[in-house]
Amino acid sequence: MLEAVLRADVVVYASPVYVWDFSAQMKALIDRHYCFVKWQVGDEPQHLLEGKPTLLLATCGGGAEDNGDLIQEVFAREMAYLHCRIVGQYIVPDCTLPSALGAIAQQTAWRMTDDLLAACGP
């Protein structure tokens, strides 16, 4: 997975919100991202993902304000450490079942696509 992240033109981090944070599986992957910063004694660190466009897409069972706020902060801090470029952060609220996604999920997907094309398109 880490090699795929290195090769990717854009990385979308998608996860349901679990206790205001990423799922355990996504958290494990993100924790391994620290290997993308290489420290040399006496030198500035080398950021292997420098400038890589990233997006966060998360679903949560309640409202975005009180469920999706902390995952956005964790994501922002992680991407700042890695020197990635955040294209956008998108929270789809009130998702308890796949059938509950509805129009707001579709609107979020279109907004995400528009933002990605504006930031990275031709």
| CATH number 3.40.50.360 given to 2-120 | yes
Q: Domain residues of the chain, as ranges? A: 2-120
Three-state SS annotation for the chain: CHHHHHHCCCEEEEEECECCECCHHHHHHHHHHHHHEECCCCCCCEECCCCCEEEEEEECCCCHHHHCHHHHHHHHHHHHHHCCEEEEEEEECCCCCHHHCHHHHHHHHHHHHHHHHHHHCC
pLDDT tens for each residue of 39-66 = 877 788 999 999 999 999 999 988 888 8
The model's pTM is 0.90
Per-residue pLDDT band for 29 (boundaries 50, 70, 90) equals very high
